[in-house]
Structure 1
Amino acid sequence: MSRQYLLAVLLAALTLTAGCSFLAPNPDSYTSTYDYSVGVDATGTLEDVTVRVPLPQVDGDPVVEANAVAPNGTVEGFDAAVVETEYGPMLELTAAEFVVETRYFRFVEEDGLGRREEINESAYDPSNPDHHKREGRTVSVSVTRTATYPIETRAPVGESPTFFPAATRELTDCRAPYRDETACFDYRAPVYLSYESAESARVSGSVSFTGSNEWFAGGWTGNSYSDRVRFAVTGPRDEWIVANGTTEVGRGNYPSPER
């Protein structure tokens, strides 16, 4: 065997090894995460408040704990706890009073830069386009958890955590175009609201959960699914309402089996 032939074989082996390393990255470069977030908005003061929103679950067990959402037991004026309901585990937010105060601002420009500055009500001029007021208050919280790789993201319902896994989901159009694997589903989602308020007070909220896989193969890439529940009502409430649920699956890249 000539030295030239042996050198060619060694170079070919090195090239194949490098190629395999690129196509099949080290397991340490794989990560999976869950992200859960809750946001509640009110345009008027609420009294004797109870709000229950869904938690991501598998087989009836929540994958996010109350102490993860609210380490000290509270979220911006709300006490937080996980409660069992007829619809499964939910995050319960309670407060004797949730005060919403009108705040006044003016737009100020200095050295070519603009900023918003809070002012007193007495300085507020409704006819001044640089003046505006805000009648509302927002509470929000988010939690990220590391998950075991890989998360099932193409068909997560029943396999990976979702809101209301037993809900009837109907195929619908996605709001944004993605790859062929992406599909979106609508469903009816129960949310409990109980509070006293002015008839004009509007309360809205959004609860979302995302499961994501990421890996490095010549650059970071990945895939994910998401579940979101939205609601909006006006006036006092003491009831379960039907909110809008949307599940989006199969977003991102999916390597072919031979890779």
Structure 2
Amino acid sequence: MNRRLRVVLVVVAVVILLAAGVLAAGVWQFTRPAPESYSHTAEYRASIQPDATLTNVTLYLPLPAENGTSSVGDALVAGSPGVVDAPANWSFEIAETEYGPMLAVSLPTLEPAYRERPPPRPIDPDGETATPGAATPTPDPQETPIRTLDDHLVRVELAFEEPIDTRSPVGSEPVLRPRFDATDAECPFPAPESTVCREFGTRMFLSYDAPADATVEVSVSYEARNDWFAGGWTGNSFRQSTRTNVTGDGPGWVAVPATEAVGEGTYRGAPSAVVDAGAVAVAR
């Protein structure tokens, strides 16, 4: 190999190394977490779905609370901008019960809610499809729409300045309460090793007058999460939910099963309060 060829090969090797270094630096820069993208949010949902008219309604529902306080409950009572969905005639209070603070909902009457959609169009027996650009047939006003039972929804979205401890939220973050006898359980869905699923008990108070054959479904859920951009949007979260179905008049206090999944998502590049399993979220 002559000297000139050796020089060319050395130059080419240096260029390749420099290019690889620049590329690696670019990839590292692109995939590192962007601190300005961090967000810490929570969503609370409560839904009530009766299939008949209820009267003299009083409900006590689980609330995410910690140290006896609930940001979600405060938002509903104050009617803050974080309240995304809430029926206009519903009254909200934080009730101090024998099980701790709960969301009190009171209203004189609760009618079933329905949603309607047009019936499906019949298929052309000749298998012909509409000509592109052709006018859409006007629906027959005499066609009976499909009517399905809907729910009454309460939804609150909150944003926090500090990271949320999504791995060990109990004792450091607001979680659904009342909360009794939590035990580890198998996750009912595919989950990474960081995810821990549990079952626990909670309580609801359901008081109303209803027909003997009326059924009412009540559900409550809460999810808190951290999100950020690191070569793409990612994040981690914990979530909890509970649901019950009752028939006839409101039975008063009922024990209701609940589930939770903590440690969902990724923790690479996560905010400092949730990097370690034993981390405690910064007090808010």
Band of TM-score, shorter chain: 0.7 to 0.9
Partner of 2:43: 35
Q: How far 1:143 moved relative to its partner?
A: 1.5
Partner of 1:86: 98
Preserved contact between residue 48 and residue 216 of structure 2 (Cα < 8 Å): yes
Give the stretch that moved more between structures: 77-86 or 41-50: 77-86
Partner of 1:249: 262
Cα-to-partner distance string for 1:149-189 (whole Å, 9 max, x where unaligned) = 42111111111110127522111122211111111111111
Identity, in percent, stands at 30
Q: How far 1:44 moved relative to its partner?
A: 0.8
- 1:144-159, aligned counterparts within 5 Å? 144-159=157-172
Preserved contact between residue 189 and residue 245 of structure 1 (Cα < 8 Å): yes
Gaps of 5+ in 1: 125-130
Query: Normalising to structure 2: TM-score of the pair?
Result: 0.72
Query: Normalising to structure 1: TM-score of the pair?
Result: 0.78
Preserved contact between residue 57 and residue 207 of structure 2 (Cα < 8 Å): yes
Q: 1:102 to 1:252 in 2, by over 3 A?
A: closer
Gaps of 5+ in 2: 1-10, 123-128, 131-135, 270-274, 276-284
Give the counterpart letter for 1:223 in structure 2.
Answer: N
SS state at 1:240 partner: strand
Question: Are residues 1:96 and 2:108 paired?
Answer: yes
Q: Which has the larger radius of gyration?
A: 2
Preserved contact between residue 49 and residue 94 of structure 1 (Cα < 8 Å): yes
- 1:41-120, aligned counterparts within 5 Å? 41-68=49-76, 71=79, 75-100=87-112, 107-109=119-121
For 1:213 and 1:241, the matched residues in 2 are separated by 33
For 1:116 and 1:241, the matched residues in 2 are separated by 47
Structure 1 outlier segments of 4+, above 2 Å: 7-26, 65-78, 99-106, 108-119, 131-134, 164-167
Give the counterpart letter for 2:79 in structure 1.
Answer: P
Preserved contact between residue 49 and residue 112 of structure 2 (Cα < 8 Å): no
- 1:222-241, aligned counterparts within 5 Å? 222-241=235-254
- Determine which structure has the larger strand proportion and give its number: 1
For 1:115 and 1:243, the matched residues in 2 are separated by 48
Preserved contact between residue 199 and residue 234 of structure 1 (Cα < 8 Å): yes
Partner of 1:128: none
